[in-house]
């Protein structure tokens, strides 16, 4: 059987219309052909462009799936512009001022989950793949040292220690 039949996938979408003040975002996390794992949608103030709404939907979906500890490695979008931009033009995206917010969110997510590094890579173009492996080796060889918290001395209160 096809591997996608068993793996969990997530489809994201952003709905944007220039005449509306709001936009819609949604994502559907599913397994197999149509077995729903989780489905979410929300309405927000309209972003600057349809592409921005698609990107916001992708980031929102990724954050939610990560926070729920769902093992999903495949994200799908019907926005060919977003897919092409991510696959082929990552360097231009990073340089584009309005997209740098996504990079900042990736870094915030790294801090939130306690990851040592945040590195974007592409297996298709091999961009930064070596950097990923180098970073992983560094973490294994020399794990991050956590600062020990100073223990506070507590005074007994009514015969109890807190």
Partners of 9 in beta bridges = 30, 74
- Give strand pairing partners of 15: 24
Q: How many CA atoms lie within 13 A of 23 on its CB side?
A: 21
Q: Give residue 4's domain range.
A: 1-88
Q: Is residue 161 part of a domain?
A: no
Among positive and negative, which fits the CA dihedral 109, 93, 54, 126?
negative
Indicate whether 158 pLDDT > 60.
no
Q: What pLDDT score does 20 carry? A: 92
- CB of 22 within 8 A of CB of 46? yes
Structural domain ending residue among the three candidates 49, 69, 88: 88
- Of 148 and 35, the one with more pLDDT: 35
* % of the chain beyond a pLDDT of 70: 71
Task: Say what the pTM is.
Answer: 0.53
Going by C-beta distance under 8 Å and a sequence separation of 6 or more, which residues neighbour residue 161? 154
On whether both 31 and 99 belong to a single domain, the answer is no
State residue 162's pLDDT score: 34
């Amino acid at each position: 059987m096809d591997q996608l039949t068993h793996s969990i996938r997530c489809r994201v979408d952003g709905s944007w219309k220039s005449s509306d003040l709001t936009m819609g975002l949604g994502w559907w996390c599913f397994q197999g052909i149509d077995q729903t794992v989780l489905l979410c949608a929300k309405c927000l103030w309209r972003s600057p462009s349809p592409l921005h709404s698609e990107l916001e939907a992708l980031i929102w979906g990724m954050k939610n799936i990560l926070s729920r500890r769902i093992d999903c490695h495949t994200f799908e979008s019907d926005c060919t512009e977003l897919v092409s931009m991510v696959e082929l033009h990552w360097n231009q995206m990073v340089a584009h001022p309005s997209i740098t917010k996504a990079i900042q969110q990736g870094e915030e997510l790294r801090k939130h989950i306690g990851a040592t590094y945040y590195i974007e890579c592409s297996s298709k173009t091999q961009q930064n793949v070596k950097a990923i492996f180098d970073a992983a080796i560094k973490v294994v060889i020399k794990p991050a040292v956590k600062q020990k918290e100073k223990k506070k001395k507590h005074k007994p209160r009514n015969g109890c220690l807190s």
